Structure 1
Amino acid sequence: MKSFIASPRYDLPKRLLRHFLFWLAYYLYDGPISSIIEQDPAARIAIAAMAMPVKMIAAYFTLYLLRRIYNEKSDPVRFYSYLVLSIIFFGCLQRTVSYTVIYPHFYPNGTSVPLFYPPKVIIETFGVYSVVAIVVVVHLAKQWYVSQQEKQQLRNEKLEAELKLLKAQIHPHFLFNTLNNLYSLTVTESKKAPEIVYKLSQLLSYMLYDSNKTTVPLQMEIDYIENYITLEKIRYEERLDVSLNVFNNIDHISIAPLLILPFIENSFKHGFINEIGKVWVNIDILTSDNQLIIKVENSKGKIEADAAKSAVGGIGLLNVKKRLELIYKDRYDLHIVDEETYLIILKIKL
């Protein structure tokens, strides 16, 4: 998987730039911007610069060392001990910087109280860790965002893998049925065998190349179905009556490839089982109320054998149901009516 987080070697300049911009923004706020309301703006700008090093060190200590200890989750006592000690240490360190560097230059009266005067230490500590808190929150927010992006990519890759698997199962299922037809014709030395080979090559071209696309023009899918019907007409000859009707302009419509075929194939494979008389299939494709509607209805044999629901016959419909759920989710509606005829109605929101 291609990670959203680049390798350290290539990401380091960008990270350094982001950190630099963050601290620059903080300094501009704490120094020049805040100095607008001060009586001595220059002093405020200088004090902000002098106070920044301790805040930066405390922020990176918390972000990289303490967070690593926390993520290990092996010794909570160790983490909280380090946290408390670091808060005390950096609070006292900031107080020392203020007492020995800042106060003598800008607030001489500030040295009148002891160095580690508790109220002053507490104030300095809050000043440091208010910045540390901002840094940690920003960092955690970024990590959460990256984590969500990676999870989404994993979901997308899993979805793509599932769809490829389902399409890969469609191919052998279709080939199994078509090669059976071809075999029966070659056994009888039928002159129609070469035509089947030609039509089969066209279908394989579609499956190998166009079916790898996310969507294809609906007309391309219909052309594919017409080739399939041609093969079945060669098999059933005069016994078969097929009606394929397209009622609206479909030039602007695209769908997932190999989505309609399993319904058509199911009609031929299992709708005519044990039937020796006339058989028929009606296929209607239309648009209505911003929906693509596909109806496939076929005659049923007089003998309703359990073989019609065999495992081989269930592969196509089972796969297309899974693909519909993965691709269209709540944008489709599928109804299957098994009564005097076998009727499938698929509606897809455009």
Structure 2
Amino acid sequence: MIEMDMLDKPIKLPFFNRSMSVKSVLIHGLYWILITGFFIYEKKYLIYKASMPYFVACVSVRVLLLVLIGYLNLQYFLPQYLLKKKYLAYFTAVTFSVFGYLIIQSLFDFYLYGYVVGPIRNSRLMESLSYNFFSTLWYLGLMLALKLSLDWYEQQLVIQKITLEKLNTEVDFLRAQINPHFLFNLLNNLYALTLKKSDQAPYVVLKLSEMMEYMLYDSADEKGALEKEVAYLNNYMDLERLRFSHAAAIKLNVNTPIDGYQIAPLLLIPLVENAFKHGLSQQSENAWLTVNIALSGSTLFFTVENSKSPLPHHKIKGGIGLGNLRKRLELLYPNNHQLLLEDKGDNFSAKLIIEL
């Protein structure tokens, strides 16, 4: 099987200071094979009416002249004149090349059919000129259509590549924003525990180490294992349980098997982080948070529900996580996700549905 990189490799064209990809060369080659096959079928009677050498000469002259005039137009006249808006020069060059082709081809036909084949066809030069003129325009039109089609296709590939690189760059930028933002919150949690001189500090450091390993080595990939993402989420919630102690009921429920599924890394944490930051952190008692994860086929249902104070609070600095989540969903799962947020006064619900 030919690798796609090999098909895109450029090849230097003889007689022209230009290159074509292997893919384009193969397409052009197939085009000329079809044209040659048509002439072989059309002129096969010459084998019997004249001889094999005249048959070969007839087909070869037609194909070689069309190749010459076709690539003069595509590789020289088009870029040198038409693309530079030198329309008169382009029209003049094409006209002279067509007339040059007509003279050579019509003289050859006049000799072949008038003196070699005999009365099988009318040997009048004007009829030969007329036939060759319209057939030349037809084949030049096909060549130009082929050229424009290939250029459009390659342009679309370039646009697609640039778009993909732009999306990947933006996703990497958003991920780079998430990591320090999230680490900032974790260090605040660890700082609170050290102030209390908690014996669970080593446990916290171990959890933090596991999380940092995921952030450093797994989150750089475009997609990773869903079970690792959930394990990362569970570690984060374990750290928050230590901070809130018995003041909050914090639960993570995985309701279906999640092995074998892939998801963009660090996509779930912003909703949970948002629930702690704007919900539980603003309450002194009866706080709760429940996270539910379920799969139906390849559709992920991720729900975060948390208690919140019904009283208005001053706006907290930040808000990076949720804004980045929206952007990443638009980039990574366009038209394949839903993010539903609902403020119910004394509790808040966030539901994320993704077609993995």
Q: TM-score, normalised by structure 2?
A: 0.84
Q: Return 260-269 or 72-81, whichever deviates more.
A: 72-81
Query: Which one of 187, 211, 217 corresponds to residue 219 of structure 2?
Result: 211
Residue 99 (structure 1) aligned with residue 110 (structure 2): yes
Q: Which residue of 2 aligns with 1:185?
A: 193
Residue 6 (structure 1) aligned with residue 12 (structure 2): no
Q: 1:306 to 1:144 in 2, by over 3 A?
A: same
TM-superposed CA distance for 1:189, in Å, is 3.9
- Letter paired with 2:349: L
Q: How many residues align?
A: 343
Tell me the secondary structure at the aligned position of residue 248 of structure 1.
Answer: coil
Q: Which residue of 2 aligns with 1:138?
A: 146
Q: 1:197 to 1:290 in 2, by over 3 A?
A: closer
TM-superposed CA distance for 1:194, in Å, is 2.8
Q: Which residue of 2 aligns with 1:30?
A: 39
Q: Which residue of 2 aligns with 1:90?
A: 101
Q: Which residue of 2 aligns with 1:129?
A: 137
Query: Which one of 84, 100, 105 corresponds to residue 73 of structure 1?
Result: 84
Per-residue CA distance 1:271-325 (angstroms, 9 max, x = gap): 12432223210111123476321110111135421324x4x1x211111111111
Which one has more relative contact order, counting CA pairs under 8 Å at least 6 apart? 1
Q: Return the alpha-carbon distance in structure 1 between the equivalents of residues 121 and 295 of structure 2.
A: 81
Tell me the secondary structure at the aligned position of residue 282 of structure 2.
Answer: coil
Q: Return 38-47 or 90-99, whichever deviates more.
A: 38-47
Residue 343 (structure 1) aligned with residue 342 (structure 2): no
| Structure number with higher helix proportion | 1
Q: Is the 8 A contact 1:51 1:98 kept in 2?
A: no
Percent of paired sites with the same residue:
30
Per-residue CA distance 1:172-199 (angstroms, 9 max, x = gap): 1101111122233334544333322221
Q: Which residue of 2 aligns with 1:258?
A: 266
Q: 1:112 to 1:221 in 2, by over 3 A?
A: closer
Residue 50 (structure 1) aligned with residue 61 (structure 2): yes
Q: Is the 8 A contact 2:46 2:55 kept in 1?
A: no
Structure 1: gaps (5+ residues): none
Q: Return 11-20 or 203-212, whichever deviates more.
A: 11-20
Structure 2: gaps (5+ residues): 14-18
Q: 1:272 to 1:20 in 2, by over 3 A?
A: closer
Q: Which residue of 2 aligns with 1:299?
A: 307
Q: Return the alpha-carbon distance in structure 1 between the equivalents of residues 321 and 169 of structure 2.
A: 18
Q: TM-score, normalised by structure 1?
A: 0.86
Tell me the secondary structure at the aligned position of residue 47 of structure 1.
Answer: helix
Q: Return the alpha-carbon distance in structure 2 between the equivalents of residues 83 and 164 of structure 1.
A: 50
TM-superposed CA distance for 1:72, in Å, is 2.9
Tell me the C-alpha RMSD between the 2 structures: 3.1
Q: Return the alpha-carbon distance in structure 2 between the equivalents of residues 149 and 13 of structure 1.
A: 13
- Letter paired with 1:86: S
Q: Is the 8 A contact 1:240 1:280 kept in 2?
A: yes
